[in-house]
């Protein structure tokens, strides 16, 4: 397979990552031991915030009053789209039952977790959309308790638009806490809230590490790294749109990889020419993030065929995958590894990030090889049940007894023996280990 790198990254998403595990573990241990007091101390230290942590109804209403009406309408549009798509996903989850053999019925039920903890970033950028994505899906799934948690601004509190979005999307409680202390508060059930059964939502490396450490005690949506995006483009692609989409994702952060894969060298070269100018035109913070991401992490790859392009994309397994090429149906059928797919020039990752309906909490760092993104399914437990008549239990009990004895698990075997003896006292069974 031929892959020519016109631009090769000097770094990867894992390069230079600080070892934060010990720090995060220490904070989690301290907060678990000291409870609310510990969380408040870290809020004062890291968030530089000493206001009310658990927002009251009056505080939520006051925040909503600060949100411009036009922004409220935009949030409502995004919420409606995300909810509509989540409801369609929910409809795909069916409770079933099947008669495996005559007299033996097995079934499946989908049960939502009771309490969802939704982390909503609010540091560099106010992630209004993350409130919509996480809280709405938890609400549609049917979670009894939905806790939204977002970092407060020093001396100010959570951005009013985040509060408004979390509230209208269905949050039962909103916490003004950031980072590890916010994750800990939800996981440990602080501030008179129930313990979260699952933690979801994006965050920085400290939030991601806290979720990683807590996984097992609670569920999580996925292990997260820096956001990443890949564009597949052929000769029909518009270089200006390609560069805009690359830069638009690079502004996430200094370590956010973006990749262009194409079979058209002229397009690749034109994009390389255009990108620096667009980055320079961004606001200062956005430009600094995009410049570093493009310089250190971006790659531009030229392949000989579209099949090679698709194979390259699958190897990278990007969080966001955009196709700006002919024959979109071919790409939809061929591509196997991505968090979310954006087909054609008319859509873009930012649509999915903000308002189109699909979820923006997605697998990063190659995790799309084995998992999808956040959906109503992440909040659901798929459980099974069974019941049987005595006749239906008969062949299963015989097989169970013999298999158990072959495994050396005599106690298991006897739970089958006793039923056969009770239900069929006049019959003899060969329940010895089958060899």
Q: What is the 3-state secondary structure (H, E, C) of 338-361?
A: CCEEEECCCCCHHHHHHCCCCCCC
Structure tokens at 8: 């090769």
- When pLDDT is cut at 50, 70 and 90, the band that residue 12 belongs to is confident
Domain of 427 in residue numbering reads as: 389-435
Question: Which residues, 6+ apart, have CB-to-CB distance to 307 below 8 Å?
Answer: 334
Tokens coding 312: 């390259």
- Least confident residue range of 112-126, 129-143, 292-306: 112-126
Q: Does residue 158 sit in the same domain as residue 290?
A: no
Based on the fold, state whether residues 91 and 180 are members of the same structural domain.
yes
What's the chain's average pLDDT?
95
Short-list 252, 207, 210, CA closest to 228: 252
Per cent of the chain over pLDDT 90 is: 91
d(CA 141, CA 424): 45
- Same domain membership, residue 288 and residue 425: no
- Looking at 14-23, 35-44, 137-146, 227-236, which range is the least confident one? 14-23
Q: Which residue has the tokens 């024959």?
A: 327
| Residue of higher predicted confidence among 361 and 155 | 361
Please tell me whether residues 86 and 206 are part of one structural domain. yes
What CATH number is given to the structural domain containing 330? 3.40.50.1980
- Is the predicted pLDDT of residue 147 greater than 60, yes or no? yes
Given 273, 320, 391, 407, the catalytic residue: 320
Geometric angle at alpha carbon 422, from 403 and 398, rounded to 5°:
20
Residue 15 confidence (pLDDT): 62
pLDDT digit string (tens) for 109-121? 999 999 999 999 9
Three-state secondary structure call for residue 17: coil
Q: Any catalytic annotation for residue 79? A: no
- Residue 314 CA to residue 332 CA, distance in Å, equals 12
Residue 434 lies in a domain: yes
Residue 246 lies in a domain: yes
Which of these is catalytic: 167, 291, 319, 360? 319
Mean pLDDT calculated for residue range 321-329: 98
- 197 falls within a domain: yes
Say if residue 167 is in the same domain as residue 39. yes
Model confidence at 434, pLDDT cuts 50, 70, 90, reads low
When divided into structural domains, the chain yields a total of: 3
3-state secondary structure of 318: coil
Is there a single domain that holds both residue 216 and residue 230? no
Going by pLDDT thresholds of 50, 70 and 90, the confidence category of residue 223 is: confident
What is residue 175's three-state secondary structure?
A: strand
Q: Is residue 27 part of a domain?
A: no
Of the chain, the percentage scoring pLDDT greater than 70 comes to 97
Residue 20: pLDDT band with limits 50, 70, 90: confident
CA 43 vs CA 20, 38, 150: distances in Å: 18, 9, 11
Whole-number pLDDT of residue 10: 84
pLDDT in tens, 382-412: 999 999 999 999 999 999 999 999 999 999 9
Q: Residues 238, 350: one domain?
A: yes
In a domain, 345, yes or no: yes
pLDDT digits (tens, 9 = 90+) for 167-183: 999 999 999 999 999 99
- Residue 356 corresponds to which tokens in the numbers above? 């189109």
pTM, full prediction: 0.92
Q: Give 162's pLDDT tier (boundaries 50, 70, 90).
A: very high
291 labelled catalytic: no
Strands in 102-250 per DSSP E: 104-112, 115-119, 145-150, 173-176, 198-200, 219-220, 229-233
| Residue 28 lies inside a defined structural domain of this protein | no
State both tokens at 418: 């006793």
pLDDT band at 194 (very low <50, low <70, confident <90, very high): very high
24 falls within a domain: no
Q: List the end-to-end C-alpha distance of the chain, in Å, as a whole number.
A: 50
Give the C-alpha distances (Å, rounded to integers) separating 382 from 95, 243, 369: 9, 42, 22
| pLDDT reading at 14 higher than 70 | no
DSSP 3-state of 304: coil
Question: Of 12-21, 154-163, 208-217, which gets the smallest average pLDDT?
Answer: 12-21
Note whether 199 and 244 are same-domain residues.
Answer: no
Phi, then psi, of 347 in degrees rounded to 5: -120, 165
Same structural domain for residues 217 and 77?
Answer: yes
- Asked whether residue 7 carries a pLDDT value surpassing 90, the answer given is no
Q: Which two tokens stand for residue 266?
A: 């002229």
Contacts of 275 (CB under 8 A, 6+ apart): 243, 246, 247, 294
Q: Indicate whether 317 and 395 sit together in one domain.
A: no
User: Residue 16 pLDDT more than 60?
Assistant: no
Judge if 250 and 353 occupy the same domain.
yes
Say if residue 125 is exposed, middle or buried (CB neighbours under 10 Å; 0-12, 13-18, 19+).
middle
Task: Judge if 152 and 76 occupy the same domain.
Answer: yes
Q: Does residue 267 form part of some domain? A: yes
d(CA 339, CA 374): 9
pLDDT at 95 over 60: yes
């Amino acid at each position: 397979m031929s892959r020519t790198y016109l631009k090769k990254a000097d770094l990867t998403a894992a390069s230079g990552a600080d070892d934060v595990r010990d720090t995060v573990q220490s904070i989690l241990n301290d907060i678990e031991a000291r409870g609310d007091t510990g969380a408040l101390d870290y809020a004062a230290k890291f968030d530089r915030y000493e206001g009310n942590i658990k927002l009251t109804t009056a505080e939520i209403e006051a925040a909503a009053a600060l949100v411009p009406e036009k922004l409220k309408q935009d949030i409502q549009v995004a919420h409606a789209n995300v909810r509509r798509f989540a409801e369609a996903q929910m409809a795909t989850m069916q409770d079933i039952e099947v008669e495996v053999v005559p007299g033996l019925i097995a079934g499946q039920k989908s049960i939502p977790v009771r309490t969802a903890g939704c982390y909503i970033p609010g540091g560099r950028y106010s992630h209004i959309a993350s409130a919509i994505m996480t809280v709405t899906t938890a609400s549609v799934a049917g979670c009894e308790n939905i806790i939204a948690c977002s970092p407060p601004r020093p001396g100010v509190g959570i951005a009013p638009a985040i509060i408004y979005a979390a509230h209208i999307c269905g949050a039962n409680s909103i916490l003004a806490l950031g980072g590890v202390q916010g994750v800990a508060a939800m996981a440990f059930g602080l501030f008179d809230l129930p313990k979260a059964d699952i933690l979801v939502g994006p965050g920085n490396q400290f939030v991601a590490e806290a979720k990683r450490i807590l996984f097992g005690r609670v569920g999580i949506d996925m292990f997260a790294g820096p956001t990443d995006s890949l564009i597949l483009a052929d000769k029909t692609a518009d270089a200006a749109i390609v560069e805009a989409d690359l830069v638009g994702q690079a502004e996430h952060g200094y370590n956010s990889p973006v990749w262009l894969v194409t079979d058209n060298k002229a397009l690749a070269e034109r994009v390389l020419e255009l990108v620096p100018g667009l980055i320079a035109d961004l606001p200062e913070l956005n430009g600094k993030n995009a410049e570093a991401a493009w310089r250190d992490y971006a790659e531009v790859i030229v392949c000989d065929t579209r099949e090679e392009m698709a194979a390259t994309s699958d190897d990278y397994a990007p969080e966001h995958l955009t196709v700006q090429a002919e024959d979109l149906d071919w790409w939809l059928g061929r591509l196997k590894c991505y968090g979310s797919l954006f087909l054609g020039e008319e859509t873009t990752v930012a649509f999915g990030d903000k308002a189109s309906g699909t979820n923006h909490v997605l697998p990063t760092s190659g995790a799309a090889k084995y998992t999808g993104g956040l959906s109503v399914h992440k909040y659901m437990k798929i459980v099974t049940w069974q019941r049987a008549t005595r006749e239906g239990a008969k062949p299963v009990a015989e097989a169970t007894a013999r298999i158990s004895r072959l495994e050396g698990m005599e106690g298991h075997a006897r739970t089958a023996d006793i039923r056969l003896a009770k239900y069929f006292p006049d019959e003899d069974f060969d329940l010895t280990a089958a060899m």
